[in-house]
């Protein structure tokens, strides 16, 4: 498949040849990499005590996430893997990457500008300052020291020692529950948000060829096939065969154009809304996959087609939003029918928000950054609309960008959604970090309406059989009624015919009587004329004789 993508790169856009983060992998150390002069996280013993007090004061509410609680330093508890989300609020996790080589070598404060306390993230109470490297950081009210945000999960990867949250911790904490939900026929979505070079691609994709450095996506695909295999064996042992179909798609949104990353053809696809399917992309390739090697091939092929480019912030900066989706269909044979389970899980690697002064972007890179910021701004407006910031009657602007239209279900529909907010601990990036934390806090208020996408064919057959019997009984009743009505109709028609005959006879009798009456009247008139003529003749004879008598 890789050969199909050759020669298809856009001018000025370099195609990614590997998915490895340019800085040292998190949770490991390298003798050749410069280490920070000061690392404040994890906190010192005194700050740990304060952290405990803060947890008791601000995080005393019970765990409502359904994803389980996590160790403050590592972020993931291995006892929470089988738990399910109990609400449909978007789950929000924050991951804080370590200072990278560029931030260390650039000078300036090397202490972390933010602190982790359990499931809380706060701005360091003292502005990070290292006089040998630069002046103190000026902090505005917006960046007030001590500002604290509470989240469902916090993954502290600042310290590269053994206490840092690893790729596996992130996967176990937010990836495994999504898979378990998918096997239970619930749609899921994990999307990574944050400024450029904050660790989104590293968390979602990582290095698929590396064991410890794999991101959530490759780990999830590996675990999914393991889960399917175990489930198939368990059901087979109980005499219940199971068939599974897994389809994968990979797309990117680049400057408001949607491209299929599984083909070398760069044609702009469209997002459509379907009453049953939700947002979908006609013409998007859905490749069948049966193993992790199949998925790896698609990931590699798509990564080579995805738009990336170098900026001052990141040598391998994603210049597009990427969405990798797994469609899962499980059919289990049951007595008298089958049970169908359907779900889809999307892994969304959003391009990072950018400031031109920091990225040094010009020309096409600048235009890419503008397009990225515009789509992320639309995403922010959508979140604000969903949380009622613009009023209850505000129309949610999903259609203002292809990204938000594609994520419509994930943000407000049939999905159990997780946001992974990725931030930098550097004072240099504090303003962007606070902006990301603010966005993540708003996402916690957004509710979705996930439903189980299952269809029990046995129940369906029973339902259809009952419906058939009901319809048959209704048809029998209607047939009986038709027969009765037909008999009544025939009787009425017979009566009508008898009435018609009687009426005809009466009419004929009437005509005969009228004829006879006419004849009688005519005879009477003739007789009357004769009598009148006789009377007149007699009268004249009398007059004549009377005159003769007078003359004598």
Which residue among 452, 480, 495 closes a domain? 452
Residues 279 and 415 in one domain: yes
Q: What angle do CA 522, 525, 531 make, to 5 degrees?
A: 145
Q: Which residues of the chain have pLDDT under 70?
A: 1-87, 106-111, 126-141, 160-162, 307-317, 336, 354-363, 365, 390-391, 457-460
196 annotated to a ligand binding site: yes
Residues 143 and 101 in one domain: yes
Closest CA to 319 of 104, 4, 9: 9
What residues have CB less than 8 Å from 416, skipping those under 6 apart? 85, 88, 91, 178, 181, 186, 187, 188, 189, 448, 450
Contacts 24+ apart (CB under 8 A), 268-275: 271/402, 271/405, 271/406, 273/405, 273/408
198 annotated to a ligand binding site: yes
Query: Does residue 552 sit within a domain?
Result: yes
Domain range enclosing 503: 453-552
Domain count, the chain: 2
Q: What distance lies between CA 195 and its chain's CA centroid?
A: 24
Which residue among 394, 419, 452 closes a domain? 452
pLDDT tens, position by position, 231-264: 999 988 888 889 999 999 999 999 899 999 999 8
Residues 434 and 504 in one domain: no
pLDDT of residue 22: 33
Residues 89 and 145 in one domain: yes
Residues 400 and 527 in one domain: no
pLDDT of residue 294: 96
- Report how far residue 127's alpha carbon sits from residue 106's, in angstroms, rounded to the nearest whole number: 18
Query: Does residue 157 sit within a domain?
Result: yes
Residues 87 and 152 in one domain: yes
122 annotated to a ligand binding site: no
Residues 439 and 459 in one domain: no
Query: Does residue 33 sit within a domain?
Result: no
Asked if 325 and 260 count as a contact pair (C-beta separation under 8 A), the reply is no
pLDDT of residue 473: 94
209 annotated to a ligand binding site: no
pLDDT of residue 362: 63
Residues 355 and 482 in one domain: no
Query: Does residue 18 sit within a domain?
Result: no
Asked if 18 and 306 count as a contact pair (C-beta separation under 8 A), the reply is no
Which residue among 404, 423, 452 closes a domain? 452
pLDDT of residue 142: 73
195 annotated to a ligand binding site: yes
pLDDT of residue 421: 97
């Amino acid at each position: 498949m890789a050969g199909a993508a050759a020669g298809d790169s856009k001018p000025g856009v370099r195609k990614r040849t590997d998915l490895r983060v340019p800085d040292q992998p998190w949770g490991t150390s390298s003798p050749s990499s410069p280490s920070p002069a000061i690392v404040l996280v994890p906190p010192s013993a005194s700050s740990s005590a304060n952290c405990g007090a803060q947890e008791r004061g601000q995080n005393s509410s019970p765990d409502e996430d359904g994803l389980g609680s996590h160790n403050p330093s590592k972020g993931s508890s291995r006892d929470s893997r089988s738990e399910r989300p109990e609400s449909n609020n978007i789950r929000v996790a924050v991951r804080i990457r370590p200072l990278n080589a560029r931030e260390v070598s650039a000078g300036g404060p090397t202490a972390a500008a933010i602190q982790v306390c359990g499931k809380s993230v706060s701005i360091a109470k003292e502005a990070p300052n290292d006089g040998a490297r630069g002046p103190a950081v000026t902090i505005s009210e917006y960046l007030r020291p001590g500002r604290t945000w509470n989240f469902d999960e916090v993954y502290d990867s600042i310290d590269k020692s053994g206490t840092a949250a690893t790729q596996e911790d992130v996967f176990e904490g937010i990836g495994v529950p999504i898979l378990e939900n998918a096997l239970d026929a619930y749609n899921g979505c994990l999307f990574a948000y944050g400024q450029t070079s904050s660790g989104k691609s590293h968390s979602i994709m990582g290095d698929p060829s590396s064991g410890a450095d794999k991101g959530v996506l490759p780990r999830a695909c590996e675990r999914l096939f393991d889960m399917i295999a175990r489930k198939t064996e368990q059901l087979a042992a109980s005499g219940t065969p199971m068939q599974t179909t897994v389809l994968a798609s990979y797309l990117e949104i680049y400057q408001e154009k949607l491209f299929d990353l599984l083909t070398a053809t760069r044609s702009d696809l469209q997002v459509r809304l379907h009453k049953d399917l939700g947002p979908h992309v006609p013409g998007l390739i859905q490749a069948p996959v049966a193993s992790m090697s199949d998925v790896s091939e698609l990931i590699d092929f798509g990564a080579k087609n995805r738009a990336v480019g170098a900026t001052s912030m990141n040598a391998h900066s994603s210049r597009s939003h990427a969405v990798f989706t797994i469609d899962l269909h499980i059919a289990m044979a049951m007595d008298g029918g089958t049970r169908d389970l359907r779900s889809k899980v999307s892994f969304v690697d959003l391009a990072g928000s950018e400031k031109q002064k920091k990225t040094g972007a010009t020309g096409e890179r600048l235009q890419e950054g503008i397009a990225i910021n515009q789509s992320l701004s639309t995403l922010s407006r959508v979140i604000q609309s969903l949380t009622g910031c613009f009023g209850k009657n505000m129309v949610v602007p999903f259609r203002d960008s292809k990204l938000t239209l594609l994520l419509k279900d994930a943000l407000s529909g049939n999905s159990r959604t997780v946001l992974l907010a990725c931030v930098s601990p550097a004072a240099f990036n504090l303003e962007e970090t606070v902006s990301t934390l603010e966005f993540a806090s708003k996402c916690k208020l957004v509710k979705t309406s996930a439903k189980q996408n299952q269809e029990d064919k046995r129940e369906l057959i029973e339902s259809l059989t009952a419906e058939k019997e009901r319809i048959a009984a209704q048809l029998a009743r209607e047939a009986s009624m038709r027969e009765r009505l037909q008999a009544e109709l025939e009787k009425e028609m017979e009566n009508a015919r008898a009435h018609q005959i009687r009426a005809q006879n009466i009419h004929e009798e009437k005509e005969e009587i009228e004829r006879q009456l006419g004849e009688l009247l005519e005879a009477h008139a003739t007789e009357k004329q004769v009598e009148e003529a006789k009377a007149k003749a007699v009268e004249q004879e009398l007059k004549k004789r009377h005159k003769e008598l007078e003359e004598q």
